[in-house]
Amino acid sequence: MSRHDSTSTLAPAPAELTLPDAPSIPGLRFRRFRDASDWAALAELHRAAAMADQDDDIPTQEILQITLEHKAGFQVGRDLLLAEVDGQVVAEATGTASIRDGC
């Protein structure tokens, strides 16, 4: 099985998530990566953050996609969480799964 295979022994992650301690912001919701259109939204999020930080390093959606899809142990559909307000991506969080000592 390649790391891009969708086959897994784990149950599929739900597309939309409920976070019990999330702030009460109208229109706020959390979800997993949905499809290729999310790359453009992520690129815009990174562009806005870079501009606010006066950072010249602004990754394109292609660079973000290549970086995340080839990150060891990372599965975009499992390890990328997006926060939206009224349908606009306003934040992202990433994590990875590790197997240690076969556990």
Per-residue pLDDT tens over the stretch 32-90: 999 999 999 999 999 999 999 999 999 999 999 999 999 988 999 989 999 999 999 99
- Asked if residue 76 belongs to a domain, the reply is yes
Q: In the prediction, which pLDDT does 99 show?
A: 76
Q: Which domain holds residue 62?
A: 27-94
Q: Domain for residue 84, yes or no?
A: yes
How many structural domains compose the chain?
1
Res. 96 pLDDT band, cuts 50 70 90: confident
DSSP letters for 37-102? HHHHHHHHHHHHHHHHTT-S----HHHHHHHHHTSTT--HHHHEEEEEETTEEEEEEE------TT
Band of the pLDDT at 11, cuts 50, 70, 90? low
- Quote the pLDDT of residue 73: 85
Residue owning tokens 């229109």: 27
89 part of a folded domain: yes
Closest CA to 84 of 40, 21, 41: 41
